[in-house]
Structure 1
C-alpha cells in the first residue's frame, strides 16, 4: 500500500504503534501528551519495530468527552511535525474531524484512521482531497454511550455489512479501493461476547477484499475476561494479537510494540515453513 512517498508491503502483518497525545485516553492518558515525551515514545516504538505511528488527540474511550477542533489540532500538529523532522516513518492521524485530517496530512501524516468511518461533516470530502489511504472503523453509537447494551442480529454480518457500505460510498466518492483499510472496531459498541465472536471469525472480514486492521490492545475485552487491570494485560494483548495475525490481519494496532513484533515474527516463520512444505 502506498503512503505518500512510502510503500508498505502488507503481505505479512505490520505493527501500528499507538501514541495518544491526550490527557484522558483509557490506557495511557496524560503519559505522552508532552511533546518530548511523545517523541521519546515514538523513537522507542520505532526501535522496537513499529511500521506506523498512530497519533490521536481525542480519547474515544467509553464515556469520553468531546474536544474542540482547535484543542485537537493543538495536540496533534506539533507532534506530527516534530516526528517528521526526527524520524522516517508512516504517520497515521486518528481523528474524525475533517479539518484535523486536512491539517494533519499537510503536516506530514499519510494515513487517516477514523473511528467514525468518514461519516462526520466534511470528513469524506477531506479524505478524498488528501489522496492518502484511509482506515474505516465500525462503531455502534458514540463513545459516551457506545457500551450501553450494544445489540446485533449477528455481529460479524452486521459489522461486515456496514463496512461494505462505507467502502462503496468511499469508492464512489473517489477513494481508490487500494487505499482503503477496514477495522471491525473491537470494543466500540460491542459486548464481551461480541468482541470474541469477531475475533473467532476474523478471517471473514477478508471477504471485503481490503486490508484489515485489528485493534484490541489493553481493551476491556481483555480486562473483563482475564480480571486484569490495564497495566496487567500484556499476556492478553499478545494472545489476541497472535490470533489476529494467524487469521491474516494486515495491521495490528498496539501499545506494546516489542512483544507484538516478536509474536508477528513467529507467525511469519510458521507461515513460511508451511508454504515451503506445500511446494
Structure 2
C-alpha cells in the first residue's frame, strides 16, 4: 500500500486520524444533482439521511448546494447560502460529533457555513473560481480539500488537453499547495478531481496512477461515486453504478486513499473493512 506523508487533520483543536480510511457521505441540497436519489429537499429528510449515513459508518458528511455535474446550471450565491447554511446548522445541532464538510467554491458560502458549524471546506475549483478562497480558509483555520479542476462546471469538459496527464495535474496542484501554505492553511487534503476536466480514459489513467499523488505529502480523497466513468463505461445508468463504485473505491484504497466520498455509505464502509482485513491493519475508527 502506498503511504501518505500526513495522516491527521485538526478539527476544532482535536486530531482526526486518517491512518484508517474514512467514509464521507454526500448530502446534496440541490434539485439537479446527477444522481437523483442523492437529492435532499426537506429538513426532515436531512435528519433521516444523515442519521442513516452515521448509522452505516460515515464519520463525515459533505453538504452541497450547487450541482457541479458537467453542464450544470449556475446557482446564485444567495440561493446557495440559503440551501446549505441552515442544513449545516441543523446537522451541527442534532449530530454534534459529526464532521461536516461544505462543498462550495465560494468563499462567502464557505465562511457562513463554517460560522454555522462546518468543519471542512471542500472546494471543487481548487481556488480558481474565487480569488478570496485561500485567504478565507487560512483565516478560518479549517482543513481544506483542494480538488483539481480546470474552467467551470459549464466549460470543464472542453479543457481536457494535457501534455502528460498525471505529472501535469500534480504540477497544477503543487502550485496551489505552495500558495495555500504561504497563506497559512493548516491542513490540506488532495482530491485529483475524477470527472472534472478529464475524459473517461483520462479518469482511468488517473485511477491507475493514483499513488503518484502521495508525492504532494497530503491525505487523498477520492470521489468517484456513481460517476460517468463508471456508468458510461459499463453502458448503464448512475442508478445501477453501485457495484462499479465499490470496485473503484477498493482500487483507491489499495493506492492509499484516506477518504472515500460516496453516495452509499454502507458498501464503502464494508469495502474499507475488507481491505483492512486483507491488509492486516487493525480496525480503529470504522466500525
TM-score normalised by structure 2 residue count: 0.92
Alignment of 1:150-161 (within 5 A): 150-161=160-171
Report how many residues are paired. Answer: 272
By how many angstroms is 1:28 displaced? Answer: 2.9
Q: Secondary structure at the match of 2:203?
A: helix
By how many angstroms is 1:100 displaced? Answer: 0.5
Q: Structure 2 unaligned runs (5+)?
A: 1-8, 283-287
Work out the CA distance in 1 between the residues paired with 2:178 and 2:152: 23
Identify the match of residue 280 of structure 2 among 267, 272, 278.
Answer: 272
TM-score normalised by structure 1 residue count: 0.94
**Structure 1 stretch displaced more, 251-260 or 23-32:** 23-32
- Structure 1's consecutive aligned runs of 4 or more residues displaced over 6 angstroms after TM superposition are none
Identify the match of residue 108 of structure 2 among 99, 106, 110.
Answer: 99
1:20 and 1:28 in contact (8 A); partners too: no
Q: Secondary structure at the match of 1:193?
A: helix
Work out the CA distance in 1 between the residues paired with 2:238 and 2:77: 29
Aligned to 1:127: 137
Q: Secondary structure at the match of 2:17?
A: coil
By how many angstroms is 1:145 displaced? Answer: 2.0
What is the aligned-residue RMSD (CA, Å)?
Answer: 1.4
Alignment of 1:50-61 (within 5 A): 50-61=58-69
Alignment of 1:7-86 (within 5 A): 7-28=15-36, 31-86=39-94
Aligned to 1:142: 152
By how many angstroms is 1:149 displaced? Answer: 6.1
Identify the match of residue 217 of structure 1 among 204, 222, 225.
Answer: 225
Work out the CA distance in 2 between the residues paired with 1:272 and 1:30: 34
Q: Structure 1 unaligned runs (5+)?
A: 275-279
Q: 1:130 to 1:152 in 2, by over 3 A?
A: same
**Structure 1 stretch displaced more, 142-151 or 207-216:** 142-151
Q: Which has the higher contact order (CA 8 A, sep 6+)?
A: 2
By how many angstroms is 1:29 displaced? Answer: 7.0
Aligned to 1:89: 98
Identify the match of residue 190 of structure 2 among 182, 201, 205.
Answer: 182
Aligned to 1:108: 117
By how many angstroms is 1:33 displaced? Answer: 2.4
Work out the CA distance in 1 between the residues paired with 2:55 and 2:281: 27
Q: Secondary structure at the match of 1:96?
A: coil
By how many angstroms is 1:272 displaced? Answer: 1.5
